[in-house]
Amino acid sequence: MTISITNERHSIIGETKYPWLTQADTQFNSDGVYHTKLIVKQDKAQEHIKVINNVISKEIAKQHQLTPDNTKPVNRAPLPYKVLEDGTVEFNIKMKASGINSKTKQPFTQSPRIVDKKLNEFPKDKNIFGGSICKIIYEPIGYNVASTGIGCTLRLKGVQVLKLVDNSLSTQGFTVINDNELESIV
C-alpha cells in the first residue's frame, strides 16, 4: 500500500449532504470519521475533478515505473465524486477522527477546524445539518492499495459555514399540548 500526500490544499463551496462535521461518525468505524458529501454545480466542480484526475494519473505513472513489464490495465478504486442526474457533482470528503500514525506508531486524535462566515470559531455543541452551504478545504491524497486499486481520497482539513441549516424545522408545525387538551383530542 502506498499513499502519496500532495500537500496541496483546495477549497470548494457547495451544499452539504449527510454532514458529520462537528462530531465524528462512529457507526461503521469505532475510531470515528468526520465526513460530508458536498453538492457542487458542474461548472464549479470541473477544476476539482481535474485535480483528482491528476493525482490518479501520477499514481498510475508510479505503478508503471514500478512494474514496466506489466501490460495489464491497472485496477482503479472508486472515484471520490459522482455526477448526479441533475448535472451537479457530489464530492465525498472525509477525515479520520483518531487512529495510530503509521510512521510514529503514536495514537492521534483530530477534528476539522470549523469557522463561521466571519471567521469566528464555530460552537462545538451546534450541529451542521444537510442543506448548509459550506466552504470546505481539502487535500487530495493519492493511494495504491492492492485490494481496492489506484485512487484518490479528499482529506477534510477545514470548514467555513456560509449558510447554516439547523434542526429548527424538525419541530415546525407542532404546538405545545398540555394533558387536558390531550384527553379531549384522543
Condensed to tens digits (0 to 9), the pLDDT of residues 102-122 reads: 888 899 999 999 999 999 999
Q: Are 181 and 41 in contact (CB under 8 A)?
A: no
Q: Are 34 and 97 in contact (CB under 8 A)?
A: yes
For residue 77, the enclosing domain spans 2-185
pLDDT of residue 100: 87
In Å, what is the CA distance from 50 to each residue of 44, 45, 118, 144, 173?
11, 9, 30, 19, 45
Total number of domains in the chain:
1
pLDDT of residue 116: 94
Share of the chain above pLDDT 90, in %: 65
> What is the pairing mode between strands 2-5 and 113-116?
unpaired
Q: Per-residue pLDDT averaged across 13-33, rounded?
A: 93
pLDDT of residue 36: 96
Q: What is the pLDDT of residues 69-107, one digit of tens each?
A: 777 778 889 999 999 999 999 999 999 999 888 888 899
Average pLDDT, the chain: 88
C-alpha cell at 132: 448548509
pLDDT of residue 6: 60
Report whether pLDDT(172) > 60: no
Report whether pLDDT(161) > 70: yes
We report the CATH number of the domain holding residue 92 as 2.40.50.140
CA–CA distance, 45 with 4 (Å, rounded to integer)? 23
DSSP 8-state class, residue 45: H
What's the pTM value of the predicted model, to 2 decimals? 0.83
